[in-house]
Amino acid sequence: MSPAANTRWLGLGVLCLALLAIVVDNTIVNVALPTLAGELQADTSRLQWVVDAYTLTFAGLLMAGGALGDRIGRRSVLVGGLLVFGVASALAALAGGADALIAARAAMGIGAAFVMPATLSLLVPLFPDERERATAVGVWAATAGIGVALGPVVGGLLLEHFSWGAIFLVNVPLVALAIIGGLRLLPESRDPEQRPVDWLGAALSGAGLVALVWAVIEGPADGWTSSPVLAGTVIGAVLLVAFGWWQTRTPHPLLDVRLFRDARFSAASTAIMVLFFGLFGFLFLATQYLQFVLGLSPLSAGVHVLPYAGAMIVSASLAAKVAEALGPRRVVALGMALFAAGLGVAGTLTIDSGYGLLAIALVLLGTGMGLAGTTATESILGSLPPERANVGSAVNDTTRELGGALGVAVIGSVASSLYSGALTDAAPAQVPTGALEAASGSLDAAVRLGPGIAQAAQAAFVDATATASLVAMAVVAVGVVAAWRFLPAAEPSAVRNTPETAGLL
């Protein structure tokens, strides 16, 4: 093996290290939510923001990050994004309160949005030989898939031995290695066309999404008809409409909205969004159920989520062959139906259910995600000409992160509203008003108030989780209908093993 070849594969290791850091952060925080609730006195809405601050900024700036790399250099943007991500991770680890942590998580999302597009696009100049590049893409995709699965377990392992800040501080040495390796081993590359970045589009879409999600998250506490919540909803809607209008007027749009005129592209994008809507929303509640209700440690909770990862990996590896035999419409619809069934099983949870029902739900969710997510991603990429594959990849990544952010906001808020109302009705009469208000805003606070209110709070939370899961199931059912109505019965060619489908990104 020549030195040049050695350099290429070491460069791939650098890209995979950078990718692993940002992908793991999508799920590592979930098992820490109960710990954060206690250590930072964070109520449910603050916990939602701890998750969504990262995914929202990640989703809102992904396409801008890719465009910036095309313009000024992908290695430069990768290194800059890693620097932002690393510094923000250190600030998150040192945060003294929930609001400081949320701000740091938002900054982490900004860094991640610049890193992720570059990790894939830099494979082209790094591996000019197509056969070597195909192998490299497979390694890249496997890294992404493993990262998602490892997040809860790694988070639980760190929390078992260190304080909660360790789940963020662990990023710092990884980022330092990736920056040093990137500067030494990765080539610089950029788009010779030098297209301008649509920063106005990025600002409109980002601000609109933040306003809308803020209204959804704060609704249970402030009241759904309160002036701030209504104002946030209206402002968010206006900004998103303005974003759509601007994308049809600017010569270099952040997102070519004309792509959504293709029913296949729109249906597949909808499928990805609602799948991750259901997944992130459910995991937000499930990790709290495992720790607050079943009494598991963070590490044990992470291990108990593994049935999802195992089922997803197996079904994703079979999706291409199944799609060749049945066609994308049937496979996406079947996968989403299985995913919805998993949420339906979670909808039957009671205070006495234990882990068994949740395990069944996780297996169904993983199987459905592997089949539907892989095939829907291929439909997104397959609906575009090869020269626009990067656009399809960006849309796929953005819909995934956006769906996850909305899932945590909507499903978390539904559960929060139901939990608060049920606990208020069921709490013992002797509980002081102030204590009841604290317990209604945080399950952690309720558990700390003693067995009387703790048992009522646990029962209320389980009932709220079950009902919220049924709401998520209804949303996923819309995706089933869209997939069956608009996806083709058969592809013109066999499903390809693309980086996006292989890694289920």
What are the residue boundaries of the structural domains of the chain, listed by start? Answer: 1-184, 198-253, 260-505
pLDDT at 235: 94
Q: How far apart, in whole angstroms, are the C-alpha atoms of residue 29 and residue 46?
A: 13
Phi-psi region of 496 (alpha: psi -120 to 50; beta: other; left: phi over 0): beta
Tell me which architecture the domain covering 1-184 has in CATH: Up-down Bundle (1.20)
With helix as H, strand as E and coil as C, how does 23-51 read?
HHCCCCCHHHHHHHHHHCCCCHHHHHHHH
Query: What SS3 class is residue 284?
Result: helix
- The DSSP element (H or E) to which 458 belongs, if any, is helix 451-486
pLDDT at 274: 94
With helix as H, strand as E and coil as C, how does 302-359 read?
HHHCHHHHHHHHHHHHHHHHHHHHHCHHHHHHHHHHHHHHHHHHHCCCCCCCCCHHHH
Other C-beta atoms lying within 10 Å of the C-beta of residue 261: 8
Give 342's contacts (C-beta < 8 A, 6+ positions apart): 360, 361, 362, 363, 364, 365, 368
Q: How far apart, in whole angstroms, are the C-alpha atoms of residue 411 and residue 278?
A: 8
Joined tokens for residue 124: 């082209």
CA angle 15, 18, 23 (to 5 degrees): 120
Identify which of 109, 56, 133, 78 has the alpha carbon closest to the alpha carbon of residue 499: 133
CA angle 500, 503, 505 (to 5 degrees): 55
| Sign of CA pseudo-dihedral 271, 272, 275, 280 | negative
pLDDT at 497: 45
Joined tokens for residue 394: 């960006």
Assess whether the region 1-184 and the region 260-505 belong to the same CATH fold: yes
Joined tokens for residue 32: 């820490």
Q: Is residue 158 a contact partner of residue 167, using CB atoms and an 8 Å limit?
A: yes
pLDDT at 134: 67
The total number of residues written for the chain in this structure: 505
pLDDT at 431: 64
Joined tokens for residue 194: 């030098």
Q: How far apart, in whole angstroms, are the C-alpha atoms of residue 346 and residue 361?
A: 6
Joined tokens for residue 136: 């490299």
Q: How far apart, in whole angstroms, are the C-alpha atoms of residue 193 and residue 402?
A: 29
CATH of 260-505, picked from 2.40.50.140, 1.20.1250.20, 1.10.443.10, 2.60.40.60, is 1.20.1250.20
Over the chain (505 residues), what is each successive 10-residue block's mean pLDDT? 68 92 89 90 88 89 84 90 97 94 96 89 81 74 76 91 94 95 88 79 88 84 82 92 90 82 87 92 92 92 91 86 87 95 96 93 94 84 67 78 89 90 73 68 75 84 95 94 83 47 44
Q: Is residue 234 a contact partner of residue 288, using CB atoms and an 8 Å limit?
A: no
DSSP 8-state code for residue 259: G
Query: What SS3 class is residue 226?
Result: coil
CA dihedral of residues 65, 104, 51, 288 (deg, nearest 10): 150
CA dihedral of residues 199, 201, 202, 206 (deg, nearest 10): 140
pLDDT at 495: 43
Identify which of 112, 57, 62 has the alpha carbon closest to the alpha carbon of residue 255: 62
pLDDT at 480: 92
Q: Is residue 64 a contact partner of residue 197, using CB atoms and an 8 Å limit?
A: yes
Q: Taking the CA of residue 242 as centre, how many other CA atoms within 13 Å lie in the half-sphere pointing to its CB? A: 16
